[in-house]
Structure 1
Amino acid sequence: MHAISYARVGDVDSALAEGAEPDSRFLAGGTTEVDMLRIGVAQERRVVDINDLPLGGIEELPDGGMRLGALARMSDVAATPSVRERFPMIAQALELSASAQLRNMASMGGNMMQRVRCGYFRETDMPCNKREPGSGCGAEGGFHRGHAVLGTSEHCFATHPSDVAVPLVALDAVIHLRGRYGGRTMPLEDFFLLPGDTPEREHPIEHGELITAIEVPSAPVARRSLYWKVRDRESYEFALVSAAVAVTVSDGVIREVRLALGGVATKPWRARTAEGLLTGGPAIRDAFEAAASAELAPAVGRPQNAFKIELAKRTIVRVLEKVTAA
């Protein structure tokens, strides 16, 4: 691990000033960032500790939405009664993430900046276009069982690892950013970039720009929702496939549906094709299977991860059956 300098700040303006310095990076819970520094993937020489900033609030909004401060801890958000009542799939995704110890430390904003778990990205002796553009993709001819089948490119097909980002994207969450020149917001879905020809660029965030909050708009449909995670073991494991589903059913017809996938794509994957096919149709297995097949039609499987395509289809069907039967 290379030498780093450390600064601790107590207000947002100071954080922005410190974060704008060259080779600086913000530190919140540190559950990813400290790992990146230890293994030599993160090259920053200066860490700005933002844990004293007043960004840890969990606020109910008058219209029924929620505002989650960037420094709100994952465990605190999951335990908040209004989150559990209004957006159960958010609480479920958080509780299925990592371990209890990590959830007590990890922040919501930090989770949005979580780096991929690809072994070739984390092993600095291996080629990785995300870590070192133009060096090649070690996973292409190596071990890639956990890698993505949607949103891939010839330069990278590493899977996005976040659980909670999946229901947040399904619910049209908005992320709030603040930089030296003011604040801005964007749909959370747009905050995660596909690898394309620039796999090293994961977010449209500027150097020194700070996440301040995540806002979840009111969504009555989310009261009937479920986050389902399929993995190799029941705890402390990343998803092979996950699905966040919220539905409103009336007289056997799906009136509204939100659906997003995790574990299968290079970003949290909003399943808009499936949503379009399901809305206004019958809440029956045949319709679920048709929607799942259409959503996974563009998927690109490789020798070790092609099983994810069928697994994702079955997961979509299973979760839809569970939610519509509730």
Structure 2
Amino acid sequence: MNQFQYVQPTKQKAAIEALVKNANAQFIAGGTNLLDLMKHGIVAPEKLVDINKLPLKKISHENSSLRIGALALNSEVADNKLVLAKQPLLAQALNAGASGQLRNMATMGGNILQRTRCPYFYDIALPCNKREPGSGCSALAGFNRMHAIFGYSDKCIAVHPSDMSVALAALDVTVVVAGPQGERQILFTDLHRLPGDQPEKDTTLTRGELILDIIIPDTPFAQQVHYLKVRDRASYAFALVSVAAALATQNNIITAARLAMGGVAHKPWRLSETEKSLVGKPVSEKTFQEAAEIAMRGAQAFTHNAYKLKLAPNILVEALKTAAGIA
């Protein structure tokens, strides 16, 4: 690990300016991902701008929305009474991520911005377009069991690792960010990028922008929700495939649905067309199986991850059944 400067500003403007003034500076909060990247030699910042002194830990309910500060810890958010009452899907997804120790350190903003856990990204001896643009994608012809089946390109087939972000993608969330040009709001589904020709760019944030808050509008999905994660072991493992499912029903008819998948794409994969297909249909396994067929349109696998083509629709059905109370 290289030597670096360390600063801990107490004002938002000072934090942003500290980053902008040094092209090789990075924000740090919990450090649960950044420190790993530094230890592996993937990034070598000259300056770390510690943002933990900024007032961004509040969790509140205002203007018919749940507002969560970017520095709120994953464990605190998962246990928060407002979150459990208003957005239990988020709490479920948070508790499915990482380990208890990591959730006690990881922040909401950091969780959103964590980088892929593709083994080729972490192995600096091997080519990786995400780590070194133009060098190639080792996963294409390598061991790609964990990799994408949607939205990939010939430059990158890595997947986004966050469980929490899958739930946020399903819940019509808005992210408030601040940067050198002031504040702006970004729809969560527009925050992360597909790889295209620039897989090194994970998000649509510009240089110096800092996540301030996560805003989740009130929804009718406080009861019939489920986050289902399939992984190699019960704890501290990334999803092979995961599903965030939320339903609203009346007289056994689906009136609204929200769905997203994890472990299948470079970004949390929102299933908007599948949601539309569910509305007006009866709650039944047949309805959910038909929805799963729609969800899998366009999916394509590689040598080692073809199992996802069967696993993904199966767990989508199971997640919907559990959310609907018919599992």
Q: State if a TM-score over 0.5 links the two structures.
A: yes
Counterpart position of 2:318: 318
Q: Which amino acid aligns with 1:49?
A: D
Counterpart position of 2:197: 197
Q: How far has the Cα of 1:232 moved from its partner?
A: 0.9
Q: 1:19·1:209 contact (CA, 8 Å) conserved in 2?
A: no
The whole-number CA distance in structure 2 between the counterparts of 1:7 and 1:241 is 39
Instruction: Give a deviation string over 1:222-247, Cα, whole Å, max 9, x none.
Output: 43211111111111111111111110
Q: Which amino acid aligns with 1:36?
A: L
Is 1:35 the equivalent of 2:7? no
Is 1:208 the equivalent of 2:191? no
Report the secondary structure of 1:321's partner residue.
helix
The whole-number CA distance in structure 2 between the counterparts of 1:123 and 1:73 is 29
Q: Which amino acid aligns with 1:96?
A: A
Is 1:11 the equivalent of 2:46? no
Q: 2:176·2:186 contact (CA, 8 Å) conserved in 1?
A: yes
The whole-number CA distance in structure 1 between the counterparts of 2:134 and 2:293 is 34
The whole-number CA distance in structure 2 between the counterparts of 1:223 and 1:291 is 21
The whole-number CA distance in structure 2 between the counterparts of 1:26 and 1:322 is 39
Counterpart position of 1:245: 245
Q: How far has the Cα of 1:273 moved from its partner?
A: 1.9
Counterpart position of 1:51: 52
Counterpart position of 1:25: 26
Q: How far has the Cα of 1:292 moved from its partner?
A: 0.7
Is 1:106 the equivalent of 2:106? yes
Report the secondary structure of 1:51's partner residue.
coil
Q: 2:224·2:325 contact (CA, 8 Å) conserved in 1?
A: no
Counterpart position of 2:122: 122
What's the RMSD between the two structures over aligned residues? 1.0
What are structure 2's unaligned runs of at least 5 residues? none
Q: 1:121·1:130 contact (CA, 8 Å) conserved in 2?
A: yes
The whole-number CA distance in structure 1 between the counterparts of 2:266 and 2:204 is 15
The whole-number CA distance in structure 1 between the counterparts of 2:293 and 2:186 is 30
Q: How far has the Cα of 1:253 moved from its partner?
A: 1.2
The whole-number CA distance in structure 1 between the counterparts of 2:297 and 2:224 is 27
The whole-number CA distance in structure 2 between the counterparts of 1:130 and 1:306 is 23
Q: How far has the Cα of 1:179 moved from its partner?
A: 0.8
What's the % identity of the aligned pairs? Answer: 43
Q: 1:87·1:225 contact (CA, 8 Å) conserved in 2?
A: no
Q: How far has the Cα of 1:213 moved from its partner?
A: 0.8
Q: Which amino acid aligns with 2:55?
A: P
The whole-number CA distance in structure 2 between the counterparts of 1:61 and 1:189 is 22
What are structure 1's unaligned runs of at least 5 residues? none
The whole-number CA distance in structure 2 between the counterparts of 1:181 and 1:38 is 33
Is 1:184 the equivalent of 2:173? no
Instruction: Give a deviation string over 1:182-201, Cα, whole Å, max 9, x none.
Output: 10001011000000111111
Q: How far has the Cα of 1:48 moved from its partner?
A: 0.5
The whole-number CA distance in structure 2 between the counterparts of 1:296 and 1:152 is 14
Instruction: Give a deviation string over 1:85-105, Cα, whole Å, max 9, x none.
Output: 111110011111111111011
The whole-number CA distance in structure 2 between the counterparts of 1:163 and 1:223 is 20
Instruction: Give a deviation string over 1:38-94, Cα, whole Å, max 9, x none.
Output: 11111321110111110011111241x211100000000001011111111100111
Report the secondary structure of 1:254's partner residue.
strand
